[in-house]
Structure 1
């Protein structure tokens, strides 16, 4: 009778161990560029003297949840050669809660929505979105990359990325006969977050990164010389978490200025801009919590005691 009682207790312990602990992870990487203009040495906008000859833009967005790629309207990769042309890759969502996204996670809609940010996991999904519009050099230029991933239970994994490759070759001419000392001014809004549930027993990880870089080359004949490489620290950032005390959110906005460069009358300059957002949220089966480990120990002790009593009774 005692042996039966101990075996029953051990069975309850095993069932408790087999049930996964509640878990959740999230990664969010959102970057919105609100303008890119050229200023003179007095920080006044340069409104004449620059002529854009060509502009090539490529935008990509992708997502993946448990090995299944996300879907969206149209292609996940769009290319444009129109000066100031719009490149809008419709959001790509993967995961079982995509249908509920516009209401539960992104008030106002999912498409090209930068303003809604989720402070904690809410659903099982991965979302990638991107958008470029306006001239690469001028008020009204803007670009968006968004990559969000959320996982609410063990055994799931989601990842998303959105990238912009934006380049322009500009022939620069000046009204004045002298050269111009100039710098770039960049307006931005940035948000990155990494979250792992506080519940003990979660074995997961999350990652969110954003990046933006500008390269300016002076072209003389067949020779191109880089005169500016600019990657502002404010929008080249990331966070990662694999446990509760590493969870973090970074949110910032404003305008940053590059160093001054010399633009010479009549010369051609090639401007290349790259922007990207990436996120990962994943969980494997939860490890036993400390309380579970205590129960395991008690269960083994109970079985050991029952075995000893059984042997004594047999003697």
Structure 2
């Protein structure tokens, strides 16, 4: 009878279990295009929708006047999430959702937030017209805790960072919106960060006019988490238009994912190598005894 090296089944089992453990982290835990298949209806408020592309039981909530789906300007598919304000009135408009139950790992590795945004018009001079906030359930990009926050203010994009351990955050100018896309055109954003070190690891913008990899400028830069105060940010994603603004903005292709540390992949690679070596030795042993 052909003998099997006693460690072969053990190594194979460890390899399989390790690979299975990594699988959830190798895909986007949150992935939605706001389509009918995700649970949305055209020209209808997103409030109360429990998106099938967002794990967990959380549903969209209103942030002031609610956002709705729209078929007017989707990047892909048939629908996008639209926030529309046609008059300068007090109070914000938008939607928010708690992603803490979505299964994204904030204890190691890298977390990436991706989304596409198209701003069609805005009221110049009112400032902070569009805000994408990921962190605490607040609207205060300069003075609350966030993993990241991106602001469109009077035609310019700003990505926020911690202000050297003080009690406020600072926006870093990424350039004019129209540098990347004309008004009405989409810009794709990919923002990655280390949730343990609280630093950015990758920032890219892709538009119809130009693209920019700002990783070299942001790698190692502190997240806007108010390092001078205790505790991590929450996991609320808020898409909002500020008060007293006239704005039309569409969001599409929202994703949030976590990638394990390289050491986790190295472990699986090592186990695969061990299985290969033991299998080769087994075949040689069988051949010598045949």
Q: Structure 2 length as normaliser, TM-score? A: 0.41
Question: Which structure is larger by alpha-carbon Rg, 1 or 2?
Answer: 1
Q: In proportion to residue count, which structure has more strand?
A: 1
TM-score, normalising length: structure 1: 0.39
